[in-house]
Amino acid sequence: MKFTLIIDKEKDEEVVATVHERTALTDEIESLILKHAGIDRIPAYAEDDMKMLLFSEIECVTVLDGKTYAIDSRNQRYRLKQRLYELEAMLPSFFIRINKSTLANENRLDRFAVTYSGAVDAVFKCGYTEYVSRRCFAQIKRRFDAK
């Protein structure tokens, strides 16, 4: 493994890592960089309160009744102002799409449960359950098989 640090005040700051596969180290590096950049949290709203919700506290982000919500590790629901596609672009890579309207924090996934009808549900550590589409499940399987 090589490490190169280039200090150039004229250029925008950027961190690029070329790796063979995603590991715990790459996740830790990504988390550290996001924390340092100040983009490791997002404003979330519950009734009249506003909270800065850490990405690591979010179990999943889902759309319910046309509104975007983040579900945290205590199974609390917080309203987010951003659309799902905007969140997908800004959240770290450990957030994966599990269906058309949900992004899941793969670090907070407890297990995948098969239902009697043959569908697959994602069960999070907080107890929240969300269905997984067949297309997304195939992508998730490939991602986990590559690890």
pLDDT tens sequence across 91-127: 888 899 999 999 999 999 999 999 888 889 999 999 9
Three-state DSSP at 145 gives: helix
Rounded Cα gap, residues 10 and 30, in angstroms: 24
The CATH number covering residue 31 comes to 2.40.50.1020
Residue 14, in any domain of the structure: no
Domain that holds residue 79: 24-145
Spatial CA neighbour of 89 closest among 42, 135, 137: 42
Spatial CA neighbour of 115 closest among 98, 103, 130: 130
Number of domains in the chain: 1
The tokens describing 61, both together, are 């982000």
pTM: 0.73
Structure confidence by residue, pLDDT tens digits, 2-37: 777 777 778 877 778 888 887 888 877 877 776 666
Alpha helices in 76-133 (DSSP H): 84-90
